[in-house]
Amino acid sequence: QSVLTQPPSASGTPGQRVTISCSGSTSNVGNNYVYWYQQLPGTAPKLLIYRNDQRPSGVPDRVSGSKSGTSASLAISGLRSDDEGDYYCAAWDDSLSDVFFGGGTKVTVL
* Residues near other proteins (CB under 8 A): 2, 32-33, 35, 37, 39, 43-47, 50, 56, 88, 90, 92, 96-104
Question: CB of 99: closest distance to other proteins in angstroms?
Answer: 4
To the nearest whole angstrom, how small is the minimum distance from the Cβ of residue 107 to other proteins?
14
Q: Which is nearer to other proteins, 14 or 60 (CB)?
A: 60
One-letter amino acid for residue 86 of the chain = D
Beta carbons within 8 Å of 43's beta carbon, 6+ residues apart: none
The count of other CB atoms within 10 Å of the CB of residue 96 is 11
